[in-house]
Chains A and B, each alone.
Chain A
Amino acid sequence: MSANNPEIAKGASVVIVGGGVTGLSAAFWLAQAGVDVIVIEKGIVGWEASGRNGGGCSHHHSPLFAEEQRLWPLMDELLGYPTEFRPDRIRIALNEKQLTLYSRAVANARGQGFQVDELDPQQVRELVPLAGDNVYAGHYYRFGGHANPHRTVQAYAWAVQNRGGRVLQHTVVTGFRQEGSKVVAVETDHGTFGCDHLVLAAGPQTARLSAMLGVDIPTRVARAEMIVTEPLPLMPIGGIDGNGLYGRQTLRGNLAYGGGPHEWLDAEELPGGQRPSSPLMQSIAKRVAELLPKSAHAKVIRSWAGLIENTPDGRPIIDRAPTLDNCTVATLSGVGFGLSPASGRAIQQLVMDGECSFADISGFRLSRFRDLEPDWDALQGWLPLTLAS
């Protein structure tokens, strides 16, 4: 590496841009494998989507599903800090249409060898004390679950540090230095960091940063919102959702749920603007009160919004940048919290071995967009509204 150059002496073997769950998990697995790694984060770790999500961990549509399921129960021990992971989940349908939809998920999971039990309304009410008379049916997933995003992010970060890795917060990546098809250093507002390998895991900023390296990553940014209530008595299983909502009861007892319309936005030029939420919180509240009628009196005490980038098909890109020798790009396309233990490990293997040993992630390659229509965003209706002054 470029350690002889005093100007860029503070680098590491692998420099990761982005201290969200994707970058931090990759850093954890790299540090665990003995690699010298730095994560560079513009704000505080997990300040963006990684600290604003629903904490759900059951992604049976993904090739990383099996690894996601294998790793979550081990994460507290692996990281050495609590993630508040709790296994299992109950998904409640309030009508036949919802049941038909949710049954597709059940078929996916069962097809991969995971157990799902069907519940009648009475069984749902027994397992979910806050549920009401309006239950149509339920599914008890004997897999998946949820974790606390804030605690998980910090657990990754501390685990990286405990293994000799560095996490630099409040440091903005502004550019890169290249020598031919090699990225040799990362430029920031706090100096330049040499690298043997670069990982871009900057969420909504990934495309803008990769464009600086001549790599085109098609994504569009959107806002999604959640609400949380005051704490309620703990239900036996926290992973309760359905009725078009995702979310959970936290271990403290709060109900945290999201769902509903998103809004397409321009990627920020200078990340760090406000993340206001909109009156859509009303519609989320309505559906939580329907899903768990015995919680209808519970008070909403916060709402928030997060920004997430989405690829044209909504699936992750985890790939080596094709035109560069030493750069890995990773966007989880809006669904990256639950998969993070597995996505980070896949990134670690891509960086170190050039391929992933435990899952077929060929579906995550960038070249799948080879034939993509140039106006794909307009064709899908993903263009932001113009901001009237």
Chain B
Amino acid sequence: MMHDPRSVSGKTLDISGHCSLLVIGAGPAGLAAAIEAASQGVSVTLVDENPVPFETMSESVPLFYGQRMSGTVRNRNAMMEQMLESRPDLVTAFELGIDVRLGTACWGLFLNSENMRWMDRPVAGLADEENGSSLVTFDRAIVATGRRDMGLAFPGWDQPGVMGAAAAIALAGQYKALDGRRAVILGSTADAMIAALDLAASGVEIACLIEQADVPVGPADLLARLSAQGVEVKCNNCVQSVVPGRDGVEGVVIDGGHLDCDLVVIGVGAVPMIDLLAAAGCRVSYDNARGGFVPDLDEQLCSSFPQLQVVGDCAGIWAGKSMDPAIAETEGRFAARYAAQMLGSTVEPAENTFAAPSPPPEHAFDIGAYRKAWVQRSVLDAETEPHVCQCEEVSAREILEVRPPRYLEWQASDNKARTLPDLLGEAPPDPDQIKRLTRAGMGPCQGRRCREQIQALLALKSELPLSAIPLAGYRAPVRPMPLKTAAPAIEDAAIAAQWDSWFGMPRQWTPFWDVEDFYTVSSLDTEKPHVSE
């Protein structure tokens, strides 16, 4: 067979190494998985993007840090040491000979599927500050990328000091680099309460928790621990606005008063971090009991790509799991045992790797109704119109009216005004369609701060449950990466030699007056000048 020189056929990627088992994320689940697999004789590479470079954190990637990182984050060595201290199992991992790569982000997973078949093996894109980006191949991967926070707009939420609960916990605990003294916590979920307790333990004063619902929604035992410390949950309330100062938040206005604070910690929703999985093309579904969109997993925790297993928070978040890391660790070990078996390990697995992971409780708290209620109260009922998408500066009204972005200065005349229902037909609104038209979610933070709010807004407007709104797509690279960093270190000479802006078909671009009346492949023997556009 002839081969098309301009196609991928015969081209190779710049692969810097191979991993038998790649574990992505060194939290409780990923570490347990890596250690278990290594104990069973598997060669393991464990990557974690922490410590995250200061500049990346400033862009709210991967978490919503609210610009409250202290300067110590710039000291990479100190941050590395701090990380080893906060996760002692990392030392065990090193001792077991695991190839541990800290400060290394995975920005893409690429696996052959119906519409992409040319790679020899599954590929992962990695990047770190020193070496830039590189590609590795792998036999199997365990994805343990954890969680991020649902964002929540209110007037002034773009001020430094407004941040997510997971980001606050990471900065206060693992980094010991949270720049703040007094926090107001939004939400009364288990995750909000845990953030309050963690921050208090690290010396931050907790002003109160604010809850829009009538009663706190988190577990009673956490509530009791907060009460014991004198921390109150103010129900039926919300942040009306931020009091801004020179360094960001100086306080908030709530219903019936004012609170001094320099941190506003959003804890209304912990979201499984499925970006890598969704961008790779894993099947995902909305699961109320697991905190939102999660990958479809089989009993061995394999995703729709059998080589990819998923453990820890990115496989599902619920109150009990947030409170007890043992659940995530069990998932990690369970997945690792199967991975080791599939990779041909003959070492007898430890007894505790057979313990099946616990499922979420049956009567789960309805995160759909809860998130919608927060968005109604905080965003739609706000007195001014905060930007839901901070990167592209798009308000809720602009999203729901499907307004062209402001840079177009487009004034739709009345008869031409178009709103959400016009787009819909019979199907639920699609956040990707809204994104294309309003640009909400298209900015450099890659929709991390607005995605779940937009989902809730569309559900509210179309009077549908949150579960009816499809997932806004994720695309690689799931961590923003400079052009020069993204470039391959060594490019296959065949790619360079055959590079064309389009397919390089000779007759496609021959001027119309110069083409034959009847086309045959053999007519290409007569060369005619052409150039791709």
Which residues of A (270-322) have their CB < 8 Å from a CB of B?
A: 273-283, 285-289, 295-305, 307, 310, 312-315
Question: Interface segment, A4-12, A21-29, A256-264, A346-354?
Answer: A256-264
Q: Using known A-B contacts A56-B533, A169-B427, determine if residue A260 contacts B495 with beta carbons closer than 8 Å.
A: yes
Is there contact, CB below 8 Å, between A363 and B512?
yes
Is there contact, CB below 8 Å, between A382 and B518?
no
Q: Using known A-B contacts A299-B444, A314-B503, determine if residue A51 contacts B436 with beta carbons closer than 8 Å.
A: yes
CB of B275, distance to nearest CB on chain A (Å) = 11
Is there contact, CB below 8 Å, between B502 and A388?
no
Q: Which residues of B contact A168 (CB under 8 A)?
A: 425
Is there contact, CB below 8 Å, between B135 and A263?
no
User: Would you call A373 an interface residue if the criterion is a C-beta within 8 Å of the partner chain's C-beta atoms?
Assistant: yes
Q: Which residues of A contact B114 (CB under 8 A)?
A: 265-266, 268, 273-274, 387
Q: Using known A-B contacts A84-B408, A301-B444, A379-B2, determine if residue A274 contacts B113 with beta carbons closer than 8 Å.
A: yes
Q: Which residues of B contact A241 (CB under 8 A)?
A: 501
Q: Which residues of B contact A283 (CB under 8 A)?
A: 487-488, 491, 495, 499
Is there contact, CB below 8 Å, between A335 and B2?
no
CB of A111, distance to nearest CB on chain B (Å) = 8
Which residues of B (504-533) have their CB < 8 Å from a CB of A?
A: 505, 507-512, 515, 517-522, 529-533
User: Would you call A13 an interface residue if the criterion is a C-beta within 8 Å of the partner chain's C-beta atoms?
Assistant: no
Q: Which residues of A contact B115 (CB under 8 A)?
A: 223, 265, 268, 273-276, 305, 307
CA–CA, A378 to B4, complex, Å?
9
CA–CA, A338 to B433, complex, Å?
21
User: Would you call B482 an interface residue if the criterion is a C-beta within 8 Å of the partner chain's C-beta atoms?
Assistant: yes
Question: Interface segment, A101-109, A114-122, A179-187, A208-216?
Answer: A101-109
Question: Interface segment, B9-17, B86-94, B179-187?
Answer: B9-17
Is there contact, CB below 8 Å, between B520 and A371?
yes
Is there contact, CB below 8 Å, between B437 and A154?
yes
CA–CA, A162 to B418, complex, Å?
10
Q: Using known A-B contacts A260-B500, A276-B115, determine if residue A252 contacts B439 with beta carbons closer than 8 Å.
A: yes
- Residues of A within 8 A of B (CB-CB), count: 109
Name the CB-closest residue of B to A297: B482
CA–CA, A101 to B111, complex, Å?
36
User: Would you call B475 an interface residue if the criterion is a C-beta within 8 Å of the partner chain's C-beta atoms?
Assistant: yes
User: Would you call B430 an interface residue if the criterion is a C-beta within 8 Å of the partner chain's C-beta atoms?
Assistant: yes
Kindly identify which residue among B6, B404, B487, B515 contacts A151, using a CB–CB cutoff of 8 Å: B404
User: Would you call B233 an interface residue if the criterion is a C-beta within 8 Å of the partner chain's C-beta atoms?
Assistant: no
Q: Which residues of B contact A280 (CB under 8 A)?
A: 8
CA–CA, A61 to B418, complex, Å?
37
Q: Which residues of A contact B119 (CB under 8 A)?
A: 278-279
Total A-B pairs, Cβ < 8 A: 290
Interface size class of B (residues with CB under 8 A): 35 or more
CB of B351, distance to nearest CB on chain A (Å) = 33
Q: Which residues of A contact B420 (CB under 8 A)?
A: none
Question: Interface segment, A195-203, A243-251, A323-331?
Answer: A243-251
Q: Which 9 A-B pairs have the closest CB atoms?
A: A314-B508, A381-B4, A286-B487, A274-B281, A285-B486, A314-B505, A150-B436, A299-B480, A296-B484
Q: Can you pick out 20 interface pairs between chain A and chain B where the beta carbons lie within 8 Å of each other? A: A63-B512, A80-B416, A150-B437, A151-B436, A162-B416, A246-B501, A261-B498, A263-B117, A268-B114, A279-B123, A280-B8, A281-B476, A286-B488, A286-B491, A296-B483, A298-B482, A299-B482, A302-B446, A315-B508, A379-B2
Sample of 20 more A-B contacts, CB < 8 Å, known A61-B510, A223-B115, A371-B518: A101-B531, A105-B533, A246-B532, A252-B439, A260-B500, A263-B118, A276-B111, A279-B125, A282-B491, A283-B487, A286-B488, A295-B483, A302-B476, A314-B505, A334-B503, A378-B2, A382-B7, A387-B112, A387-B113, A387-B117
Residues of B that sit less than 8 Å from A by CB: 1-9, 11, 13-14, 108, 110-119, 123, 125, 133, 135, 279-281, 392, 404-405, 407-408, 410, 412, 415-416, 418, 422, 424-427, 430, 432-433, 436-437, 439, 443-444, 446, 475-477, 480-484, 486-488, 491, 495, 498-503, 505, 507-512, 515, 517-522, 529-533
